[in-house]
Each structure stands twice: as structure tokens, then as C-alpha cells.
């Protein structure tokens, strides 16, 4: 599989998504836009488009952040969806998917930073790609906002602080507001780049020491199984063409 990552900041790294891709010996390419990398010009060279998070939001302008072009990224997402590719968005990436499909992002009811449980909806429990998550799963969080919903979108999971944690926009397009890719190293980078760190002001924001003490192994393993299932589904789709 040919997997392309759009990475907005060094501290919003692909983490477990990248680990999974490398372990399967997939071909990896990157648009590290914070380094000035261009977005792909040809969606035909990509099977999975994975758009990572960032401190921006889908309405951030180039005047506000010179290396972030929301319109170009949304256009790339639309091209990938129209071409039948797998598209995964994480945090900001999930919000960009919604925007690309005409659904405006919104502020989450609560800011969430830490490791907190998500609960699968009935649709999530029945969904073959994430039914192995169980009814409740502790996952990583680092956000203020949440993705918009299209008419056909299904909410697969929610948390106490945010009603839109995992969204299926189609059978090959998913938005993850939560961060199942987290590792301790990524969390340490996020802590170093979150200024000011406001743990005392929010009920779903943990202290840096609590964040660094979490074990993300089980969450990562369940993400790997999701990606295995998604790859198999995509391969079946390709074989039918």
C-alpha cells in the first residue's frame, strides 16, 4: 500500500499510524508542510491519505499560519475521496474531512487533554472495523474542537467531553477526533509545545506528569487491528475494480 501523511507540525507526528505502516512494509511518503513540503499533485500515487492534527483549525488563514493551506488540503481530501481512496483524519485532519464534505467544524463542549474513555455508539458497536474496541476504550485526547457532520455521517464513538470522537463519513473515510496514535514521546513533544498548559482550568485536562505516566500500548494495538481491517476492505475494493 502507498500511504501518504500530511503532517502539520513536528510535534503532531503520525506515531502509531506510521509504526503500523512500516511494520507492513508499505510505501510511505510525507507532506511535512511545516517544513515547506508540497501537497501531492497526483492522488493516483496514494492508497491511504492520512491527515494529521495541528494547533490550527479549518478556518485558519495563511496570514495566521503561512505553512497551512486549508483550501488546498480540503481539495486534496476531496480528490482522494472521489477517487475511492482511504482517507483518515486525526483531530484537525478529521475536521478538514468534514469541511471538505461541506460540514463545518464546531467547538467541542469541553477541552480534552489526556487519556480518557470513549464510548461506542450502537453504530460503533455494530461497525466491523471498530467492534474490537469494546463498548468503552481509553484513548488519547488533545483538542478544543470537533468535526462537522454530513447528512450521511455516522458517529461511532463519543466521550463525556465531546460528542464526536470517531466518525464514519463512508466505508473508507473516517475522522478520529481522538488520538489513538499517541506514544509517550509524542505526548512529551505536545506538552513542550502547548503554551500555556492549562490543566487546572478544565476537568478533562490532565497534568503533564499524569500524561507522561500513561501506557498507550493497548490503544495502539487496537488501532493496528482497525488499520488491518481497513486495508483488507480497501484491497477487496481494488480487486473488484
| Domain extents in the chain | 2-240
> What would the mean pLDDT of 217-230 be, rounded to a whole number?
98
Q: How far apart are CA 179 and CA 17, in angstroms?
A: 10
According to the 3-state scheme, what is the secondary structure of 40-63? CCCHHHCCEEEECCCCCCCCCCCC
pLDDT at 196 over 90: no
- Lowest-pLDDT choice from 128-132, 200-204, 219-223: 200-204
Q: What is the DSSP string of 3-40?
A: EEEEES-TTS--THHHHHHHHTT-EEEEEEGGGTPPPP
- Lowest-pLDDT choice from 67-71, 195-199, 202-206, 222-226: 195-199
Confidence band, pLDDT 50/70/90 cuts, at residue 74 = very high
pLDDT tens digit sequence for 163-188: 999 999 999 999 999 999 999 999 99
Residue 51 backbone phi and psi in degrees, to 5: -105, 120
Q: Taking the alpha carbons of 77, 10, 90, 84 in that order, is the dihedral positive or negative?
A: positive
What is the number of alpha carbons within 13 Å of residue 118 lying toward its C-beta?
29
> What would the mean pLDDT of 86-90 be, rounded to a whole number?
98
Query: Which fold does the domain 2-240 belong to in CATH?
Result: Rossmann fold (3.40.50)
Q: What is the pLDDT of residue 199?
A: 57
pLDDT at 121 over 90: yes
Q: What is the pLDDT of residue 226?
A: 98
Q: How far apart are CA 82 and CA 182, in angstroms?
A: 29
Residue 223 backbone phi and psi in degrees, to 5: -65, -45
What is the number of alpha carbons within 13 Å of residue 175 lying toward its C-beta?
31
pLDDT tens digit sequence for 35-56: 999 999 989 999 999 999 999 9
- The answer for residues whose C-beta is within 8 angstroms of residue 180's C-beta and 6 or more apart is 16, 139, 140, 219, 220, 222, 223
Q: How far apart are CA 14 and CA 84, in angstroms?
A: 22
Strands 154-158 and 166-170: antiparallel
> What would the mean pLDDT of 147-160 be, rounded to a whole number?
98
pTM of the complete model: 0.97
Q: By the 8 A CB rule, do 163 and 177 touch? A: no
pLDDT at 198 over 80: no
Q: What is the pLDDT of residue 211?
A: 94
Confidence band, pLDDT 50/70/90 cuts, at residue 195 = low
> What would the mean pLDDT of 89-110 be, rounded to a whole number?
98
Q: What is the pLDDT of residue 158?
A: 98
Q: Which residue has the higher pLDDT, 194 or 108?
A: 108
3-state secondary structure of 69: coil
pLDDT at 222 over 60: yes
Q: How far apart are CA 88 and CA 223, in angstroms?
A: 12
- Among candidate residues 154, 155, 112, 120, the one with its CA nearest the CA of residue 137: 120
Amino acid at each position: 500500500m502507498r500511504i501518504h501523511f500530511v503532517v502539520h507540525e513536528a510535534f503532531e507526528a503520525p506515531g502509531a499510524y506510521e509504526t503500523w505502516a512500516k511494520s507492513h512494509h508499505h510505501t510511505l511518503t510525507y507532506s511535512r508542510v511545516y517544513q515547506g513540503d508540497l501537497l501531492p499533485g497526483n492522488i493516483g500515487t496514494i492508497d491511504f491519505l492520512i491527515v494529521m492534527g495541528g494547533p490550527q483549525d479549518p478556518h485558519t488563514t495563511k496570514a495566521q499560519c503561512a505553512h497551512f493551506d486549508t483550501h488546498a488540503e480540503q481539495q486534496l481530501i476531496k480528490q482522494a475521496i472521489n477517487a475511492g481512496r482511504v482517507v483518515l483524519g486525526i483531530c484537525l485532519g478529521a475536521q478538514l474531512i468534514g469541511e471538505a464534505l461541506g460540514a463545518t467544524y464546531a467547538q467541542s463542549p469541553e477541552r480534552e487533554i489526556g487519556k480518557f474513555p470513549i464510548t461506542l455508539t450502537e453504530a460503533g458497536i455494530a461497525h466491523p472495523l471498530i467492534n474490537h474496541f469494546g463498548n468503552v476504550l481509553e484513548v488519547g485526547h488533545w483538542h478544543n474542537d470537533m468535526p462537522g457532520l454530513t447528512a450521511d455521517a455516522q458517529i461511532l464513538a463519543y466521550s463525556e467531553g465531546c460528542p464526536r470522537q470517531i466518525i464514519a463519513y463512508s466505508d473508507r473515510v473516517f475522522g478520529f477526533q481522538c488520538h489513538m496514535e499517541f506514544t509517550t514521546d509524542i505526548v512529551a513533544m505536545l506538552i513542550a509545545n502547548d503554551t500555556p498548559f492549562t490543566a487546572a482550568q478544565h476537568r478533562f485536562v490532565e497534568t503533564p506528569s499524569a500524561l507522561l505516566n500513561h501506557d498507550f500500548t493497548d490503544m495502539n494495538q487496537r488501532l493496528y487491528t482497525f488499520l488491518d481491517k481497513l486495508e483488507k476492505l480497501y484491497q477487496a475494493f481494488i480487486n473488484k475494480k
